Structure 1
Amino acid sequence: MTEDQLEQEALGWLGELGYQHLYGPDIAHDGDNPERESYRDVVLAMRLRAAVARLNPAVPLAAREEAVRQVLELGVPVQLSANRLFHRLLVSGVPVQYQKDGETRGDFVRLIDWADVKANEWLAINQFSIQGPKHTRRPDIILFVNGLPLVLVELKNPADVNADLVKAFDQIQTYKEQIPDLFQYNEILIISDGSEARMGSLSADIERFARWRTIDGVNLDPLGQFSELETLMRGVLAPEMLLDYLRYFVLFEDDGRLVKKIAGYHQFHAVRAAINQVVDASRPGGSHKGGVVWHTQGSGKSITMTCFAARVMQASQMENPTIVVITDRNDLDGQLFGVFSLSQDLLREQPVQVATRGDLREKLSNRPSGGIVFATIQKFMPGEDEDSFPVLSTRSNIVVIADEAHRTQYGFNAELKVDTLKVAEGQARYQVGYAQHLRDALPNA
């Protein structure tokens, strides 16, 4: 199979998923059906304007034009920082102001309809030439949603033993330097040599480019071990899946060095399954049991928890829930709190950390809604003058995430605790585990 044949096969799969195929030279400014003013244009501005008008009919034309201008002119010189700004506009909408009924109103112009897949326009364009400051380059396939170039696919010749994934990755690094404007809008990078395929973020090194091994979230490698590209495309790029992925599974962390991270298949499907379970469990008559997600060491537990929290916070059925994140060590509490704090773009909420037992009660008692609260399980210990932990909230839309539930947290049933040195004094007592104290504090969580 040649590189061109692989490209055509990939375009065929994308067509089956619902993408319309266009040939890059046809829509160039000098093509048969021009949609670009020059090869420097990386956004299909006419299609973007049409989508903005279609998705925001109540917003005046001038405000819609201002939104398009903000997208086309991000005004941030650093590539990854511009990408972060664009992602924020993509997910949350473009902030605009306009006059209505004699008042200045603030609004957000939507670039994508997250609820209705078919309200968006899905294009797969091959051989889309782009002119940079000094070079003109032509990526293999770019996926456009509403005129925005969100996914880049770089393919290498399967018949050439020297044209492997590393070469495809290196090609993308060259593109980033020579046609940088394209990458301000990129969400996912995909590389493949026909048999292998990997996906990664704009800031990822090649070790962070990962396989996507499932289509339905249940079966691994359903098409066989040599069909990685087709599995990835059908598993991630199907429009409904891609919308969910872009909205909740892309995050930026900035601790002095900005990094973009995207979820793996195990994180994506774990969160999707957990959300359904949590929504059902929180309903009247529900079990109040969300479930367990297993992770091996180094598999990205923190990203899973962050994406899950973001998804829960924005689930309409949960009605602005409160997230309580429980660990059993101060260092783990601080570490996870740091990860969440760096991901405010995704969470849209500044998490808070509980300092003392009294602080825990203050932060959770009678909280009406919202918030992400971090605490160690030990802070749920009753006071010396209390037989059980007092109720802090009876709300059912509180979601508790326990990180590494160890034996210290077990025990809903009271057990007789005997101090052998004080048996003669009759000081044996019944004691329950921290899990019971937590449930006493939040009985409907």
Structure 2
Amino acid sequence: MEPSVERILTWFEVLGYTVLLQSDIVSGRHQAILRSYCNGILSDRFCQAMQRINPDVSPQEIENLLYELTANRSIPIMQQNRQWHLQLLDGIKINSSGTDRSKPITLQLLDFSNLLNNDWLAIYSFPVIEGDYQHCLDLVVFINGLPLAVFHGVHTGEKSWSLRAACLQLQEYQAHLPKFFSFNELLVLSNGTQSRIGTLTSQWKQFIPIRSVNGEDIPFSGHGEIETLIGGIFDKRRFFEIMQHFLVFRQSRTKLTKKLRSHSFCTINIPKSKNFTSLTCDAGRICHFSKHH
């Protein structure tokens, strides 16, 4: 395994994620994870997390919801992604089968108040089959069995691996695996040295580097861009804050886009170094984004 990959996986372990390799889920003791995969969702982990977060919802109701979420639908990927993003934030209304309930109830997909109630999992080299296509994604971050973030390019660890090329390849993967990527919140490009973060509709120049973990240290001393990005974005509390306050959809006449905003709900402070913009939002200071022109 490349040293850069080991560093990435170690950082996720430090942040409290369960970290697995492809060998663990293909031939190791975690084969049930891959067997439970269905149209983008790790069904076993999803059902367990939903029961933990929503103890008043019956297992059958959760199974019914899982069936609906994994059903094949002819809806454009970005429309699905916007609907999914709102459901992640607000929950999903379901009709209860119980005789003592006369109104729909809201099932919460994520527990924003109790981080430990959620299932945090990072799988390195995750195989995805959809239709006639099969791709092995470098690193997938699952929360409650849902694939909310994808890393691409980390397998090479070579500076010669162009992040622009990684971006183009990810766009190809999106076209081949629309169901899987319809759940996605964030995309990360990295070659082990350079790292950028964006969304499903981000063009190459819209992917941005993260320069600080806590919004004050410039740079994050002793670590490279990928470690700083992981520490600054994938801290559990911070990841949820970014989902809630920094992702926005915009509808034009021709297309729907999703943007990672660098100053939504923020006051902007320019520190002594003019290369960075300090961001402080209502949920607390998040991180430093490079300024773009």
Does TM-score exceed 0.5, indicating one fold? Answer: yes
Structure 1 residue 252 corresponds to structure 2 residue 249? yes
The answer to whether the Cα contact below 8 Å between 1:135 and 1:178 also exists between their aligned partners in 2 is yes
Amino acid at match of 1:105: K
The answer to whether the Cα contact below 8 Å between 2:39 and 2:70 also exists between their aligned partners in 1 is no
Aligned residue number for residue 35 of structure 1: 33
C-alpha separation between the residues in 2 aligned to 1:232 and 1:89? 26
Higher helix residue share: 1
User: Which runs of 5 or more residues in structure 2 are unaligned?
Assistant: 271-275, 284-293
For 1:366-418, what per-residue CA distance to the aligned partner results, in whole angstroms no more than 9, with x for missing partners?
Answer: xxxxxxxxxxxxxxxxxxxxxxxxxxxxxxxxxxxxxxxxxxxxxxxxxxxxx
Q: CA deviation at 1:66?
A: 3.0
Give the CA RMSD over aligned residues: 2.8
C-alpha separation between the residues in 2 aligned to 1:192 and 1:31? 27
C-alpha separation between the residues in 2 aligned to 1:185 and 1:123? 15
Q: CA deviation at 1:40?
A: 6.0
Report SS of the residue matched to 2:152.
Answer: strand
Aligned residue number for residue 218 of structure 1: 216
C-alpha separation between the residues in 1 aligned to 2:113 and 2:35? 32
TM-score by length of structure 2 reads: 0.84
The answer to whether the Cα contact below 8 Å between 2:141 and 2:149 also exists between their aligned partners in 1 is yes
Q: CA deviation at 1:110?
A: 0.7
Q: CA deviation at 1:196?
A: 1.0
**Relative CO higher for 1 or 2, CA cutoff 8 Å, sep ≥ 6?**
2
Aligned residue number for residue 132 of structure 2: 134
Aligned residue number for residue 351 of structure 1: none
C-alpha separation between the residues in 2 aligned to 1:227 and 1:102? 56
Report SS of the residue matched to 1:202.
Answer: coil
Tell me the percent identity: 25
Report SS of the residue matched to 2:47.
Answer: helix
Aligned residue number for residue 378 of structure 1: none
Aligned residue number for residue 286 of structure 2: none
User: Which runs of 5 or more residues in structure 1 are unaligned?
Assistant: 272-291, 312-445
For 1:61-105, what per-residue CA distance to the aligned partner results, in whole angstroms no more than 9, with x for missing partners?
Answer: 333333323332373521111111111111110111225565521
Report SS of the residue matched to 2:102.
Answer: strand
Report SS of the residue matched to 2:212.
Answer: coil
The answer to whether the Cα contact below 8 Å between 2:186 and 2:198 also exists between their aligned partners in 1 is yes
TM-score by length of structure 1 reads: 0.57
Structure 1 residue 235 corresponds to structure 2 residue 232? yes
Q: Figure out how many residues of one structure are paired with residues of the other and give that number.
A: 276
Amino acid at match of 2:227: E
**Cα distance 1:35–1:210, how it changes in 2: closer, same or farther (>3 A)?**
same
C-alpha separation between the residues in 2 aligned to 1:236 and 1:13? 12
Report SS of the residue matched to 1:138.
Answer: strand
Amino acid at match of 1:243: F
Aligned residue number for residue 208 of structure 1: 206
Aligned residue number for residue 65 of structure 1: 63
Q: CA deviation at 1:209?
A: 0.2
Q: CA deviation at 1:250?
A: 1.3
Q: CA deviation at 1:42?
A: 2.5
Choose from 189, 194, 206 the match for 2:192. 194
Structure 1 residue 113 corresponds to structure 2 residue 111? yes
Structure 1 residue 17 corresponds to structure 2 residue 18? no
Amino acid at match of 1:21: V
